[in-house]
A = this chain, B = another copy of it.
Amino acid sequence: MTTKSRCICSGFLCSIGNIVNGEEKERSMKYRMKHAPMGWNSYDYYDTTVTEREVRANADYMAAHLKPYGWEYIVVDIQWYAKNTGSQREKYQYIPFGEVSMDEYGRLLPCTDRFPSAKDGVGFRALADYVHGLGLKFGIHIMRGIPREAAHRHLPILGSDALASDIADPSSICKWNPDMYGIRMGEPGAQEYYDSIVALYAQWGVDFIKCDDICNTNLYVEHPYSAAHEIEMLQHAIEKCGRDIVLSLSPGPALIEKAWHYETYANMWRITDDFWDTWELLYDMFRRCELWQNHVGCGSFPDCDMLPVGRLGKGFGQERQTNFTRDEQKTMMTLWCMFGSPLMIGGELTKLDDWTRFLLTRQELLQMLDADYVGRQVARDLRHAVWSCVNEKKGERYLALFNFMEQPAQCEAALPETEAFADMCGQPGTIRARELWDGTELIVHNDCLSDEIPAHGVHVFRIDKK
Contact = CB atoms under 8 A, between A and B. Distances in A.
Interface of A: 1-5, 7-16, 20-22, 25, 28-29, 96-97, 148-149, 151-152, 154, 165, 168-171, 173-176, 178, 219, 221-222, 256-257, 259-260, 290-291, 293-295, 374-377, 380, 388-390, 392-393, 397, 414, 416-417, 419-423, 425-426
A2 B14 contact: yes
A6 B189 CA distance: 42
Contacts of A376: 9-11
Contact of A165 (B97, B390, B419): B97
B2 A290 contact: no
B259 A22 contact: no
Contacts of A22: 426
A154 B98 CA distance: 10
B168 A423 contact: no
Most buried by B among A12, A397, A420: A12
A152 B151 CA distance: 11
A417 B29 contact: yes
Given A10-B389, A149-B152, 12 more contacts: A1-B12, A2-B3, A2-B5, A3-B4, A96-B165, A96-B170, A97-B152, A97-B154, A171-B173, A171-B174, A171-B176, A256-B256
Contacts of A10: 374-376, 388-390, 419-420
Contact of A170 (B178, B221, B222): B178
A295 B292 CA distance: 11
Contact of A5 (B4, B154, B168): B4
Contacts of A154: 97
A419 B9 contact: yes
A423 B12 CA distance: 7
Given A3-B2, A7-B4, A290 B260 contact: yes
Copies in the complex: 4
Nearest to A420: B11
A170 B173 contact: yes
Contacts of A9: 376, 419-420
Contacts of A11: 374, 376, 388, 390, 392, 397, 419-421
B423 A257 contact: no
B168 A97 contact: yes
Contacts of A149: 152
A423 B152 CA distance: 47
Contacts of A28: 414, 416-417
A377 to B, nearest CB: 6
A462 B153 CA distance: 55
A16 B417 contact: no
Contact of A16 (B390, B393, B423): B423
Contacts of A295: 294
Contacts of A293: 260
B291 A96 contact: no
8 contacts: A11-B374, A11-B376, A13-B423, A16-B423, A97-B170, A171-B175, A256-B257, A257-B291
B12 A390 contact: yes
Nearest to A427: B21
B221 A222 contact: yes
A31 to B, nearest CB: 13
- Listed residue (A2, A165, A173) with the most chain B CB atoms within 10 angstroms of its CB: A2
Given A10-B389, A15-B2, A152-B152, A259 B416 contact: no
Contacts of A178: 170-171
A291 B260 contact: yes
A173 B178 CA distance: 11
Nearest to A222: B221
Residue of A8, A22, A388 ringed by the most chain B CB atoms within 10 A: A8
Contacts of A417: 28-29
A78 to B, nearest CB: 16
